[in-house]
Amino acid sequence: MTSSSDRTAHLAVYDAFADWETGHTTAHLAQNGYTVRTVGLTREPVTTMGGLRIQPDLALDELRPQDSALLILTGASGWDEGDGLAPFARTARAFLDAGVPVAAICGATAGLAREGLLDDRVHTSAVSFYLAATGYAGGASYVDADAVTDAGAAGGGGLITAGPTEPVAFAREVFALLEVYDAKKLDAWYRLFHDSDASAYEVLQGE
């Protein structure tokens, strides 16, 4: 039996977060039976980089890994300006330790690097030297790719990372990890939204 936690994804929200980076991910999760809930440091409203005001559904200290299928972390200047967003990286550690996946894009990858979560996991980001500047120890595991999934060790959650220009590839990795689409439809989805291949639409519609 599928529990509500199996169909709930949590999107971290904070001031100036890059709202476009996870739009494909959250929209298509919602269209495929997932509930997307927002989580802030508190329940106080935040304003995205695009100027949208968001009221978080819950505060970070209310979030438990067992209540979630995925934690999504998006980019924001705050990842590189002090430790204000570090609690989200610590929460990502708790998710991975509990066997629940985490997906991080853009500056969020630097936050995970500082937390030590990329030291022994295959990962990517904007460029290798961006993460190297954090002083992390995972340079040998960096992959120059649009988006990367590390399946995790036994009992550990999978980790998805991507650079800031790859929101479609980021979504593709999320859908693959959560098995939102089968392989044929996932390929069609990516061709439609990344390559504007109109012929892929019929595959998505099951024709």
> What amino acid positions are annotated as catalytic residues?
106
What is the phi/psi pair of residue 72, to 5°? -110, 125
Round to whole Å and give the CA distance between 146 and 112: 18
Nearest residue to 12 via CA among 77, 87, 116, 83: 87
Residue 74 in contact with residue 108, Cβ under 8 Å? yes
Burial code (b: 16+ CB inside 10 Å, e: under 16) for 63-97 equals bebeebbbbbbbbbebbeeeeebeebbebbeebbe
Longest dimension (CA), the chain: 51
